[in-house]
Each structure stands twice: as structure tokens, then as C-alpha cells.
Amino acid sequence: MDPVPRHIAFERLYNFRDAGGYCTGDGRSVRCGQLYRSDSLAKLSARDWEHFRGLGVRTVIDLRHRREVDMRGRIPDSDGIRYHNISIEHRPYDQAVLSPLIEPARFLADRYAELAEDGMAEIRQALELLAADGSAPVVIHCAAGKDRTGVLTALVLGLLGVADDDIVADYARTGLVTDRLIAEWRAHHGGKTPRWPGFGQAPAGAMRLFLAGLATEYGGVRGYAAAQLGAGDSLVGALRNQLLSG
């Protein structure tokens, strides 16, 4: 059982959690309280905002499309918090209206592979922000904190040296709040139910297939980062210095 408490309670956020505490292959660990992943911070209530500020967050990386930001809002400008809107998704789609016949794990894994292919420049930019001195604590978020956030978090954890099993487990934890994700969608859509049964799910198989694809194509996350992002030893080393303890 994972000894680190992951989900952090907020009034309006349901998928805010700490990505720290995972061990790396060289005996170190990801520092707790330094790397968070979340659903949209635009939903923060006044009480949530006070709780959020108490975490000492310095950097927010918002992976949503600009139109999502314009429609749903973003965190307010605040002293001490640097906000960056970096959309890594270039082929947007609506999961709620997909065919009920589509199998979730394979479909999502293919979309994640597209993110890794299409969003190389933006992913590199996000890694540079994460590796910068004084950037942490950092929050990575999108709308639900599942797909775009899941891919970037998986890549970061992989570069830090976290084992695939732990990366998969971290991703799949969104499944604990799938019901709330669906309820939120229904509240914004007149009480309707998403057409695709896979909506809101985070099946472990999706992340396993995505990581397996990177392993086949590039030898793993580190190989992908070097070949496609130009993220060599210097950037990876800086990332590890910022986020690892031990």
C-alpha cells in the first residue's frame, strides 16, 4: 500500500494530488510537496484559494487550450505564483460523445501517443519550467487532471527514474474520482449522461500501453525525451536536482 497520502481535499477540486514520494531506480525519491497534479484550478473557491496558497505553490502549468481558459477561467494573478498556459494537445476531441463500442485503454493510449508526438515543443517547454531553479512547488493541471496532466506527469516521473508500475498506479488514481468527474460533466450538460462509457475512466492499461509504445519506439521515456525533445543529460539532471531527495 502506498504510504503517501495522494489526494488533497478541496471544496471544488476533486483530483488535486501530490506526485511525490515515489522511489527511483537509484535509491532516491520524488520530494513530497513539490510536484502536484490537478483538475482545473479555475474552480478554486475562496476557501480553496487560501488552502492552495498555504501549499506555497510557485509555478502553475495549465495544459488546457486557450479557448478552455477563456471559457472556464484560470487562477487569478497573484504575487509569488508564475502562471504558464502551455497547451500540449493539437488534435482535440470530445470523449463524452465517442461511440460506446470504443475500448478505453487502447483508445486513450493512442491519444497519449499523439500528445507525445504533436506536443513536443510544449512538453519541452514544460520540462524546462519544472527544471528551473526556484520553480517548485509546481502544479500541473488540465481540465480533469487525467489525460494531458497524466501524460506530462508520466513523462516527468519517468525522467526522474520512477518505475513504470508506480507511474501507472499514479495515473490510475484518477479512477477514484471518476464518479465526481462524470457528475461535474453532467452538471454542465443539463443532466445528460456521456455517450462513451469510458468517459472519466483512467484504466491502468492505457498508461501501460503508452509507456510500452515509448519503450518499443525509443527504448523508454528517457530515449523519447532525448530523441524527440532534445532533453539530454543537462536538462534531466536539472529536473532531478529540483524534484528528487536523497
Residues serving a catalytic function are 142
Report the candidate in 211, 49, 7, 226 with the shortest Cα–Cα distance to residue 123. 226
Backbone φ and ψ for 74, nearest 5 degrees, come out as -150, 175
Distance CA 107, CA 196 (A): 12
d(CA 136, CA 147): 22
Tell me the C-alpha distance between 88 and 79, whole Å: 26
Sign of CA dihedral 172, 174, 177, 182: negative
CA distance linking residue 174 with residue 15, whole number of Å: 7
Report angle CA 69, 85, 229 to the nearest 5 degrees.
140
